[in-house]
Structure 1
Amino acid sequence: MSGAVLQLVGVTQQYGEGETSVSALSGVDLTVDKGELVAIMGASGSGKSTLLSIAGGLQKPTSGEVVVEGTYLSTATRRDLAQLRRRSLGFVFQDFNLIPTLTAVENVTLPLELDGFRARVARRAGRDALASVGLEDKIDSYPDDLSGGQQQRVAIARAVVGGRRLILADEPTGALDSVTGEAVMKMIRHRVDQGAAGILVTHEPRHAAWADRIVFLRDGRIIDETQRHGADALLSSTR
């Protein structure tokens, strides 16, 4: 598919061997296109976070193939994978993963500086990214001086700075109140509407309803999916 940013083909992840082996993923096929947000839902232990980790090249599957913007991760070198994560992938985690000794703008620009951007250019891009999430007045603040919602917005700015094309969000609203959580979802949706592809792991139907497609996992397998027009019905059924 020409618009595909991410493709998982027959992806299996198995831990252990013999009778004690556990299959976290079993033959998963998934394609995410440019401008598409896909929500992954399922019970605890269904394989959601494993899928996200494999999609981002943080771990290799036992079998199957992962392709990000035409790059086959199975044959990519460690250096290639590191470069791909710095340039193309944006991660948003529930616990923010900010470095406490760096300011907001330093946290955002760190991936750019590691990729060889000059400090002045990186800082300008970081300021713009923080402004895009409403934190232009917090660029020199440290994480401990920010609220949970503000820290998550810094994490989103870091995920999108430099024009990253694949946003991977693992329960990004889990530590936030409902109002702030909705604001975070709006930001992720906006970035996808600008042309990125996105995967959102969530257990909240109201957040999954922001997605174009909802994929359901059970025991490491995709068992069902619904398009955006079906998300409202899903949300209504949980109220």
Structure 2
Amino acid sequence: MMPARAAAGVPETTLVVPALELIDITRTYGTAENQVHALRGVSLTVCPGELVAVMGPSGSGKSTLLTIAGALEIASAGTVRIGGHSVGQLSATERAAVRRRNAGFVFQDYNLIPALTAGENVALPLELDGRRPRAARREARRALMEIDAVELTDRFPDEMSGGQRQRVAIARALVGSRRLILADEPTGALDSVTGELVMRLLRSRIDAGAAGVLVTHDARYAAWADRTIFLRDGQVVQSAATPGGPETLLGVGLQ
């Protein structure tokens, strides 16, 4: 496994615009006695060149944090900024444009379009953003090649295994020049060898200047991050730089 690396630092004189800022984020569902607090005052800043792992037990708010970070869901309170731009007051169409241009998602359930081939699924975000189809397909093929899945280019999702679908979903998240990668258990359906390949690709994209948030339950994969935060009951209960962070945080979660 690749050794953990120190958090990316910048000189104090350098102005760095965070790729992602979550400021005092609260998310509630339901009303009155049926109200559920998924997140309670969570703040997180992720800068270019930084990968943050998010760990915690089931129901702790990890996936909610990720969907709010990518403007798929609106916070009940607090501020979300992507690339320095606040997204809370944007229309649904404007939020979709911000996501398409800035954020690549890897979902637990893949979210591939059944009627499109792997190549078409990966190229779709580029085409929606105005890229010519032929150029978008070339980039999609390169992304699939990076993830060692180019042989899937012309296959439809129902012709693939779960692990193959996940690799296509990862290629779609990495295609183009997105500066924020949001991954929800991206190695969950993969064997250990492919899982390490995925983490190497994710880490290389971060080292090239993107920012990333990785939701994972596995300390082996959290060790690839620069720091790890642990959620419990919708709150950040601990944050630690890696190495040493995941094991410490897992201990907190078991108390």
Paired letter, 2:101: R
Pick the aligned partner of 1:114 from 124, 128, 133. Answer: 128
Shift of 1:20: 2.4
Fraction of identical pairs, as percent: 57
Which residue identity is paired with 1:101? A
Q: Which residue of structure 2 lines up, in the alignment, with residue 71 of structure 1?
A: 85
* Mapped contact 1:95–1:175 kept (Cα < 8 A): no
User: Which range moved further: 138-147 or 152-161?
Assistant: 138-147
Distance 1:117 1:180 in 2: 30
State the match for 1:18 in structure 2: 32
Structure 2: distance between partners of 1:157 and 1:141: 14
Is residue 2:244 matched to residue 1:230?
yes
* Residue 133 (structure 1) aligned with residue 147 (structure 2): yes
Decide whether the 8 Å contact of 1:92 with 1:156 is kept in 2: yes
| Residues 33-86 of structure 1: per-residue CA shift (max 9 Å, x gap) | 111111101111111111001001111111000000011011222221111111
Moved more, 167-176 or 62-71: 167-176
Q: Which ranges in structure 2 are unaligned for 5 or more consecutive residues?
A: 1-14
Identify the match of residue 4 of structure 1 among 12, 18, 39: 18
Aligned to 2:209: 195
| TM-superposed deviation, 1:231 | 3.8
1:154 match: 168
**TM-score in terms of structure 2 length:** 0.86
Q: Counterparts of 1:232 and 1:64 in 2: how far apart (Å)?
A: 27
- 1:185 and 2:199 aligned: yes
Alignment of 1:63-102 (within 5 A): 63-102=77-116
The secondary structure found in structure 2 opposite 1:181 is helix
Change (3 A) 1:134 1:12: same
Which runs of 5 or more structure 1 residues have no equivalent in the other structure? none
Residue number in structure 2 paired with 1:105? 119
Tell me the amino acid that sits aligned with residue 189 of structure 2.
A
Q: Does 1:164 align with 2:178?
A: yes
Kept in 1, the 8 Å contact 2:230–2:249? The answer is no
**Aligned mates of 1:12, 1:3 — CA distance in 2:** 23
Q: Is 2:226 the partner of 1:212?
A: yes
1:56 to 59, 67, 70: 70
Shift of 1:235: 9.6
Alignment partners' CA distance in 2, 1:125 and 1:151: 18
Shift of 1:233: 5.3
- Partner Cα distance (1:213, 1:97) in 2: 28
Q: Secondary structure at the match of 2:244?
A: helix
Please state if 1:30 is matched with 2:44.
yes
Is the 8 Å Cα contact of residues 69 and 80 (structure 2) preserved in structure 1?
yes
In the alignment, is the contact (CA less than 8 A) between 1:156 and 1:188 conserved in 2? no
CA RMSD of aligned residues (A): 2.1
User: How much has 1:178 moved relative to structure 2?
Assistant: 2.9
1:91 CA drift (Å): 0.5
Task: State how far apart, in whole Å, the 2-side matches of 1:215 and 1:195 are.
Answer: 21
